[in-house]
Structure 1
Amino acid sequence: MTHRIAILGASGYTGAELVRLIATHPAMRIVALSADRKAGQAMADVFPFLRHLDLPRLQKIDEIDFSGVDLCFCALPHATTQLVIDGLPRTLKIVDLSADFRLRDVAAYEKWYGQPHAAPELQAEAVYGLTEFYRDQIRGARLVAGTGCNAATGQYALRPLISAGVIDLDRILIDLKAGVSGAGRSLKENLLHAELSEGTHAYSAGGKHRHLGEFDQEFSLLAGRPVHVQFTPHLTPMNRGILANVYVDGDAAQIHATLAAAYAAEPFIQVLPLGQLPSTRDIRGSNFCHIGVIGDRIAGRAMVVATLDNLTKGSSGQAIQNANLMLGVEETAGLTLAPIFP
């Protein structure tokens, strides 16, 4: 069976990544693509790397006939998706890639995103989209909220350790490096080549990054008590990729064994042998997450390193993995492509 797919916000990076992945998906066909400023244009004009595909032209959202759509991906900017989804048919399956439904507590959403939640009744039905940990809920969901890419990386490194109680929950530090595509495709002065290249800088430091809301929500739920991690992201001059160095107190061998056991059956999570550390170059363009563990010279301390592609496993690939579950398709369908190297 072929499922009919719409992508809202197809002119952005995550929208283009969805198109790239769905192009070879055995059970999905794109029937509608939306854009705002680029409505009316051919996708090949917006993204020439997709010119070999036979795709519908970009159009305004209100021009799409959703009666012919089985599932809709929303790759729209944060703080716009709530009202858009609220206006879509209630029978339509939706995977949202924005931040608009990630936080279950609408007060927490207002705290981190600076405005009231515009669709609290929809928030009540949204399922958090970290696939490996919410599979059962995602299979039966109508609305799935994709995670933040930074939040996903940190959670893959830490969730099994928190659940197993093998680390000190009050001494967790996440030092993360992120590629520039995570900032979106809109023109920004600080993302110009001359201003970004040949340098790396911290941003949203000091507990200000919005993905801390997801860390607080998910880690505290796992632990059964408040867990607040220290988190500093850095913007690096690479197009794709996230690498998180997570510093914890615990035994390195026990930490590695816990992660290896937790992810042994996961098709997209690879735990490296103890002492080996991953690189962003090894997951580029793929739906894989690689995790490594190494001990410190100071006894009782360890570092967990997790890396994934922010546009794939951190966003669009994760979205398709969730959509596969929602549609009753093999979870790995369309997502087993090898990383790009070099």
Structure 2
Amino acid sequence: MFYDQNLAIRYPKGPFAMWSVYSFTGASILASIVFSLLLFLSIDDDPLMQFLFGGLAIVFELGKFFAWYEVGERHARRNYSGMIFALGFYAVLAAISIGGSVGGINSATNKAQSHVALHQSKVNAFDMQIAAIDKQIALNNVAAEKYIQMERIATGVVRIQNENKRLREEQQKLAVQRDSLPLAEQGSVVGLIDSLASFLHTSPHTAQLGLVVFLSILLDFFAAFFVGLIGEENRFRHQYRHMKPITIDSFTSGEMKEPEMLSHFTPTINSEFDGTACNEPNKTAYERVIEALSTQQVMCSKRAVITQLKLKPDEVDVIFTQLFNEGIVSKKANNHFQWHGLQG
């Protein structure tokens, strides 16, 4: 059975899809701006300089996404030199943005790490006190042995034993306080970093840096994808609105009283085709397709041409291949055809 994936008709996205796209785009751009602000605002403590650097960060971020939008626009117009220039401009701004995002996210993860470091310092303090008590008990035991050798058990050894008992009780209290420290201070980000460090057999600092760089690049590409999606959708909507559909008006409902006579009618195209018949013998199928596409009376897709001009799928495949080779149409990234018009 004949099937061509290029024959699928595309329609503009609905309101829900577009609201979702705009929401994702706005959230990702806002997050990228915030992370860049965290880095640029930390450059200087002077309020005026912070205002200037903050404005610079916002300009860089918005300019970056506009440059990416221009990349799609110039590619659609086949202005490849302009596209390369816009792409280079975007790459510079994206590098600055990714650096800002790395600094902002790294600052947030360092704050989470500081809570863990504070918790660990408390644990270490208790461990040091417990270890000091162990050393004191060991010294007392040495002194007790000397008292035993001097046969002064009643005066020296008993006093040392009481002192060791007091030290052990203090040691137990310290151990209880150490073990009762809350573990909730260790956040999920720190746990993720520790897990990555164990999995990659590297240090937590290296794992943290890799995670921060990955998240920064992912955030930037995520926002760029949706900005490009909005640009592509706007271009398609503009083309879709200016596309005039072909209608068959050779006969009205009043002329269709007897069904057996339908086979004798040959549908004709309306005045958009200058009054010529759809299957006019003086025009080839190639000429009819060129005329329909150039007057924007049919969408630039195989299924639309097959449906409106009543042509065979194999014949339309050959015509579109010839149009593509002549540069009259081109294929977009989604395999849909785009009309460019007759050259010269």
Higher fraction of strand: 1
Question: Which structure has the larger Rg over C-alpha atoms?
Answer: 2
Q: Provide TM-score, normalisation by structure 1.
A: 0.23
